[in-house]
Amino acid sequence: MPARTKTPDRAIAPGPTVLAGMILLAALSRLMPLPPNFAPIEAMALFGGAYFARRWLALAVPLLAMALSDVALGIARGGTYVEYFTTPAYLPSIAANYLCIALTCVLAFGLRGRVTGARVLGYSLAGSVLFFLISNFAIWLSASLNPAYPACSQGLPACYAAALPFFKTTLLSTLFYAALLFGGFALLRERLPALRPQTA
């Protein structure tokens, strides 16, 4: 009876693990003392949407990383941050942040297989505008419940006008983190051939 040939074990693709690790590190950078609105939210959503071959991972990983960083911030900062998540007036704003991540991931599907510096720049601008519009619309919706945003109780245009100074920081942070994530992954792909094909 001929001996059976042992089928070699499939190597675990490193791509998804590396992508998830980079996104998680970006999310946890929120624990650092950063300027207001300077956050990796849009950049990590763009990065996940562009590189995860499985679309459910492209959505799930940035959302989970955001949730883990929120928990970490709650532990690190205590009262004020926990209060933010337990105050009904802030719930629309919190939900809007997670909605923006999901929508930006879907937007970034247009980058799949077509990542270039110019396209990342354009998508970073689009993602920042999307975040600005949705997040401030949510703040306007909850303005009557939230005394922290008096301008928004005067109407939606006034709410957007009051938020304009923060848009610059949002855009700069998205560009900064996009450069780190997309640029860092490009360097890793040059050194690790296993990362060069489309990841899974």
For 128-149, write each residue's pLDDT tens digit: 999 999 999 988 888 777 776 7
Contact 153, 141 (CB under 8 A): no
With b meaning 16 or more CB within 10 Å and e meaning fewer, what string describes 133-148? ebbbbbbbbbbeebee
* Residue predicted with more confidence, 60 or 86: 60
pTM recorded for the entire structure: 0.85
Give residue 178's pLDDT: 97
Give the integer Cα–Cα distance in Å for 175 and 93. 22
Structure tokens at 147: 């005394």
Give the integer Cα–Cα distance in Å for 112 and 106. 11
Structure tokens at 31: 């624990």
Give the list of residues 6+ apart from residue 3 with CB closer than 8 angstroms, or none.
none
Contact 102, 59 (CB under 8 A): yes
Give residue 170's pLDDT: 93
* Run of H or E residues at 187: helix 156-191
Give the integer Cα–Cα distance in Å for 134 and 199. 30
Structure tokens at 102: 């999901």
Q: Letter for the amino acid at 9? A: D
Taking residues 48-53, report their average pLDDT: 92
Domain boundary assignment for the chain: 19-28+38-192
